[in-house]
Chain A
Amino acid sequence: QKEVEQDPGPLSVPEGAIVSLNCTYSNSAFQYFMWYRQYSRKGPELLMYTYSSGNKEDGRFTAQVDKSSKYISLFIRDSQPSDSATYLCAMGELDMRFGAGTRLTVKP
């Protein structure tokens, strides 16, 4: 079993939809949780960074961490075609473990 599991998709939604992306993990020691967006053939771009449990909001993006369930989510409201990318979750304690990434397409 991988330490971090992420549904690879692909996920296709119409413009304006609410998108929910999720990851589960097995290591209860993880304290840091991040979401990255990666466009094709580019490096990952940090979207959200949270420490321990709770919610964090930044514009159209909301990150949620539920440590009791070992489950993290990223919500995208009013999705745009420019949101089309691969979304990677990452988490760790002293170092980071990445999920495989979920490929999202937002159709105009």
Chain B
Amino acid sequence: EAEVAQSPRYKITEKSQAVAFWCDPISGHATLYWYRQILGQGPELLVQFQDESVVDDSQLPKDRFSAERLKGVDSTLKIQPAELGDSAMYLCASSFGAGGPGEQFFGPGTRLTVL
């Protein structure tokens, strides 16, 4: 069964360091999402890609976060510098179509701890 792949699964870093997360969506899925989930809360959208283009990054803290999907397939989310408040689960999801949320399939997530 096709799955969304993410790495690393866990990351511990010190504040002010740079971290990067990688996501490989389900083959053929044009839309890719990065979410942040703080413990005890639902996921919040950080950025949405349609192919290689950013559709929505209104909630992405652009002073420290960046995201790219250069070839319209896999994607990288970077934080530089990391802050204590960035500790959370970072989830990647993908869906087939555009024009609506679609059925989004999530990866296992990367749990980030900032010390």
Interface residues of A (CB under 8 A from B): 4, 6, 8, 31-32, 34, 36, 41-46, 49, 88, 90, 92-101
Residues of B contacting A100 in the complex (Cβ-Cβ under 8 angstroms): 40-42
Of B61-69, B72-80, B102-110, the stretch lying at the interface with chain A is: B102-110
How many B residues are at the interface, by size bracket?
20 to 34
Residues of B contacting A99 in the complex (Cβ-Cβ under 8 angstroms): 42
Q: Which 6 A-B pairs have the closest CB atoms?
A: A98-B42, A43-B106, A96-B101, A43-B109, A44-B106, A43-B108
A101 to chain B, nearest CB (A): 6
Cβ of A46 and Cβ of B105 under 8 Å apart? yes
A66 vs B55: C-alpha distance when bound (angstroms): 29
Residues 67-115 of B at the A interface (beta carbon under 8 Å) = 91, 93, 99-109, 111
Q: Name the prevailing secondary structure of the B interface residues.
A: loop
A36 vs B99: C-alpha distance when bound (angstroms): 21
Cβ of B100 and Cβ of A31 under 8 Å apart? yes
Cβ of B56 under 8 Å from chain A = yes
Cβ of B30 under 8 Å from chain A = no
Cβ of A42 and Cβ of B109 under 8 Å apart? yes
Cβ of A96 and Cβ of B103 under 8 Å apart? no
Can you name the residue of chain B whose Cβ is closest to the Cβ of A49? B103
Residues of A contacting B43 in the complex (Cβ-Cβ under 8 angstroms): 44, 88, 98
Cβ of A94 and Cβ of B100 under 8 Å apart? yes
B113 to chain A, nearest CB (A): 13
Query: A45, A96, A100: which has the most chain B beta carbons within 10 Å?
Result: A96
- Contacts A90-B42, A100-B42, A101-B42 known; A43 to B91 CB distance under 8 Å? yes
Can you name the residue of chain A whose Cβ is closest to the Cβ of B42? A98
Cβ of B111 and Cβ of A41 under 8 Å apart? yes
Residues of B contacting A92 in the complex (Cβ-Cβ under 8 angstroms): 100-101
